[in-house]
Structure 1
């Protein structure tokens, strides 16, 4: 599954946490808006729209700066469509998960002649990890935050995850952290750190230790995809869940992209039949 789609999953499951983090205050209520806007529909795969009482929060998770259409144009397009529909103030935040590999300038606005539209850009690698570590829903992002000693930060994130009392939440955050860590750390580093003493009580850790890291990654992908499918098309029958659990990682990654176009359970069944 794409890294930005994983972030979309987290922000839509825990919208109040993300809204409080990015707006600097805890809103009275937060709801997730549909990610398809009128006129010509946009498939907003790595985008989350949250509505607080008096503001729309538009989150755009990005790994690569080069997109088509360009990111700055998309931000303007989203703003116009959102404002036309909701007539409410809009805060747009692009969350960059990984620094660019070259010296390319990171744009913070769209400008052509007299048309100018600005939006916020958060460079996650420049952000302090402290606030992220206080909230389980944000912990997976902490491993990509600023650190003089990145490996030490990742170990700290893993330690904080191990303290989560709710078993299901702990497993979910653990899996998401492991996936996002792949943006910054080598597989060898991840393997060593996630097998540290602090995680020996984790059920997920025991599964990875016994079945191998590849199997652990597969289980993490399955858990996230099943949750996304439940949000997208409703409850998934047990037999279909079992079929998904037996998919390999390449097939799971393909399903993670394809499910963005699903509207009903029948769409999922047709996709599985086509394998």
Structure 2
């Protein structure tokens, strides 16, 4: 479930990733977005909009769980978009990203012709090759699909490549690597992740994640230090506030992101979601949201969601 937001960040920060997958030079002027088609509550994970109507619009979907109705929904979303925004493009191309072939649905009927046509490109991350030889953007994408045993080694490798290669925005790469690892190893502290990746404190300080959390945590630490009334107390309060703020910020961000993904899955499957149900889901703990995300795979009616929430309460 977390990978939706990870890939959104990856495409938003490094939009050339899609074109690296397709093996073509990155065209200029493309705008990446996640587009909701409100008439049917459909949402396409990624739409790369051309800068002028003579260009090609690219649809990108990340699919890490088997869904035997995926192509039915995906093509419905695409053709609805084509109808609504026909004046903004001249051609279209679709890309689906899987961790491996086993995740793809078993039967393509009645969409065999579209699935096997040049209109659709299916990408299997475990078949892209070795991360040390891939472009950094693709290696980052591959990193999201690795196991806990493999991830630390590959993450360190990618971090080292930001020092040895001509990377235009190394702080973006470092931020994405850190975010991916923190999503995978939620039980680790910031210091433990730093040691795992071999990042210096200065490198982490350049990431947006650190800056946003540090600003609030620093203020809390200073306030606590002032109340202590001694220089030693100020220093201790600052460091404890920073550590607590980072951990709280990470957990809150994970909880909010997971809740948003679960709500999107509910809208895809059942249409609109009652406001009281949405409010209840947004107040679940991270563990409860993850449990609900797993349970959703077996639900066929919205009433089952209400029943699940009542049992959990």
2:43 alignment partner, SS class: coil
Looking at structure 1, the residues matched to 199 and 169 of structure 2 have their Cα atoms a distance apart, in angstroms, of 15
Q: How many residues align?
A: 223
Q: What does residue 66 of structure 1 align with? A: 67
Structure 2 counterparts to residues 177-196 of structure 1, below 5 A: 177-179=180-182, 182=184, 194-196=194-196
Find the partner of 1:91 among 73, 90, 93. Answer: 93
Larger CA deviation: 248-257 vs 80-89: 248-257
Question: Residues 213 and 74 from structure 1, CA distance in 2 versus in 1: closer, same or farther, beyond 3 angstroms?
Answer: farther
Question: Residues 42 and 248 from structure 1, CA distance in 2 versus in 1: closer, same or farther, beyond 3 angstroms?
Answer: closer
Structure 1: where are the runs of 5+ without partners?
Answer: 222-246, 262-266
Find the partner of 2:113 among 88, 112, 116. Answer: 116
Post-superposition offset of 1:37: 2.7
Question: Residues 12 and 192 from structure 1, CA distance in 2 versus in 1: closer, same or farther, beyond 3 angstroms?
Answer: closer
Looking at structure 2, the residues matched to 259 and 146 of structure 1 have their Cα atoms a distance apart, in angstroms, of 25
1:26 alignment partner, SS class: coil
Looking at structure 2, the residues matched to 252 and 39 of structure 1 have their Cα atoms a distance apart, in angstroms, of 24
Post-superposition offset of 1:134: 3.4
Greater helix proportion:
2
Is contact 1:162-1:199 (8 Å) kept? no
Find the partner of 2:176 among 173, 176, 189. Answer: 173
Is contact 2:125-2:145 (8 Å) kept? yes
Query: Could you report, residue by residue, the CA deviation over 1:50-103 in whole angstroms, capped at 9, with x for unpaired residues?
Result: 123521111101221126xx111122212322332326322111112x347xxx
Larger CA deviation: 210-219 vs 117-126: 210-219
Structure 2 counterparts to residues 30-109 of structure 1, below 5 A: 30-33=30-33, 35-37=35-37, 39-44=39-44, 47-52=45-50, 54-66=55-67, 70-84=69-83, 85-86=85-86, 88-96=90-98, 98-99=99-100, 104=102, 106-107=104-105
Question: Residues 72 and 167 from structure 1, CA distance in 2 versus in 1: closer, same or farther, beyond 3 angstroms?
Answer: closer
Larger Rg: 2
Q: Normalising to structure 2: TM-score of the pair?
A: 0.53
2:74 alignment partner, SS class: helix
Q: What does residue 14 of structure 1 align with? A: 14
Question: Residues 155 and 258 from structure 1, CA distance in 2 versus in 1: closer, same or farther, beyond 3 angstroms?
Answer: same
1:195 alignment partner, SS class: helix
Is contact 2:159-2:174 (8 Å) kept? no
Looking at structure 2, the residues matched to 82 and 122 of structure 1 have their Cα atoms a distance apart, in angstroms, of 22
C-alpha RMSD of the superposition? 4.6
Structure 2: where are the runs of 5+ without partners?
Answer: 215-238, 268-274, 284-313
2:8 alignment partner, SS class: helix
Is contact 2:32-2:49 (8 Å) kept? yes
